[in-house]
Amino acid sequence: MTTVLITGAARGIGQELARQYVADGARVIATCRTEDAAAQLKTLLGTSDVHTPLLDVSDGASVAALAQSLGGTTIDILINNAGVLGEQYAFGTMDYDAWTHAFAVNTMGPMRVTEALAGHLADGAKVITISSQMGSLLRDTSGSYPYRSTKAAVNKVVQLMAHDLKPRDITCITMHPGWVRTDMGGPSASISPEESASGIRRVIDGLTLADTSSFIQWNGEPHPW
Ligand SMILES: NC(=O)c1ccc[n+]([C@@H]2O[C@H](COP(=O)([O-])OP(=O)(O)OC[C@H]3O[C@@H](n4cnc5c(N)ncnc54)[C@H](OP(=O)(O)O)[C@@H]3O)[C@@H](O)[C@H]2O)c1
């Protein structure tokens, strides 16, 4: 049975990924930030089998506790999905504490979680980090300093992790999930969480080690860095 660990599964894309993997019969570890959210997720998924440990990806102690709680569990697919959009902060109004927090969640979070769980990753595992097209260096647009910079940085982090985990045949990629109708994407976004999660799962299914260090969109097309 495939074991999938998804961070930030209380809502949005993470929740839908958890729902689809449970429906597919995978063993799902879906992290949430509060006991209430974890209980609600279990109810929503309609099974007590799904494991819903607490995790704040920006908190080293929380990440260490998750690793400890996993015991002898081996993970086949790790999806670093948790993320924050934060405020826009126009030039001249930057909130540096908020930017630091965005780095802790969006950039260092996937690294912290992957490092802490490395001992639980199966040889040949797949590590997927949900980034964003907004982090692409080729998109010469303005605004959203914290979000764009933290997603650009996590793309580089994934490239580096890919080198370090390649000797264990672990494939590391970064993905743009589409513009998705979640709390983050808003109601005008172009695709549903169902479409995004289905596409992400299709990409994951088809991954081989040859794909490591790629930036891929939810529909399977490569994304320019
Ligand atoms: N929606 C889009 O259009 C879009 C586009 C490009 C990329 N993305 C990326 O896709 C991923 C999922 O986005 P989404 O649209 O599903 O967002 P969302 O609806 O806002 O959900 C974000 C999830 O991340 C969790 N989270 C936030 N901070 C966390 C932390 N410190 N530790 C652990 N979990 C944390 C949230 O938990 P709580 O419920 O506890 O807050 C929530 O479950 C993110 O990485 C986002 O940047 C989304």
pLDDT along the chain (225 residues), means of 10: 98 98 97 98 90 98 98 98 94 96 98 98 98 95 94 98 98 98 98 98 98 98 97
The structure tokens listed for 14 are 């993470």
What is the atom index within ligand 1 of the atom nearest the CA of 9?
43
The response to whether residue 38 sits with its C-beta less than 6 Å from ligand 1 reads: no
Answer yes or no: is the C-beta of 183 below 6 A from any ligand 1 atom: yes
CB distance 203 to ligand 1 below 6 Å = no
Q: Are strands 27-30 and 75-80 parallel, antiparallel or unpaired?
A: unpaired
Would you tell me which CATH number, out of the four given (3.40.50.720, 3.30.70.1450, 2.60.40.1180, 3.40.190.10), belongs to the domain 3-217? 3.40.50.720
Tell me the H-state helices in the chain: 12-23, 35-45, 60-69, 96-102, 108-117, 145-165, 193-206
Closest among 38, 62, 63, 64 to 51, alpha carbons compared: 38
Count of Cβ atoms closer than 10 Å to residue 110 Cβ:
29
Question: Residue whose CA is closest, atom 20 of ligand 1?
Answer: 184
> Contact 79/125 with Cβ under 8 angstroms?
no
Task: Identify the pLDDT of residue 47.
Answer: 82
pLDDT for residue 140: 87
Output the CA–CA distances (angstroms, integers) from residue 75 to 39, 98, 124, 209, in the order listed: 22, 32, 10, 17
In the reported structure, the alpha carbon of residue 62 is separated from the centroid of ligand 1 by a whole-number distance in angstroms of 17
In the numeric block, the tokens 């998109």 are attached to 139
4: three-class secondary structure by DSSP: strand
**Helix/strand/coil for 35:** helix
| CB of 66 closer than 8 Å to CB of 55 | yes
pLDDT of residue 48: 76
Ligand 1: residue whose CA is nearest its atom 32: 56
183-214 in b/e burial notation, b at 16+ Cβ within 10 A?
ebbeeeeebebebbbbbbbebbeebeeebbbb
Q: What does the pLDDT read at residue 93? A: 95
pLDDT at 50: 93
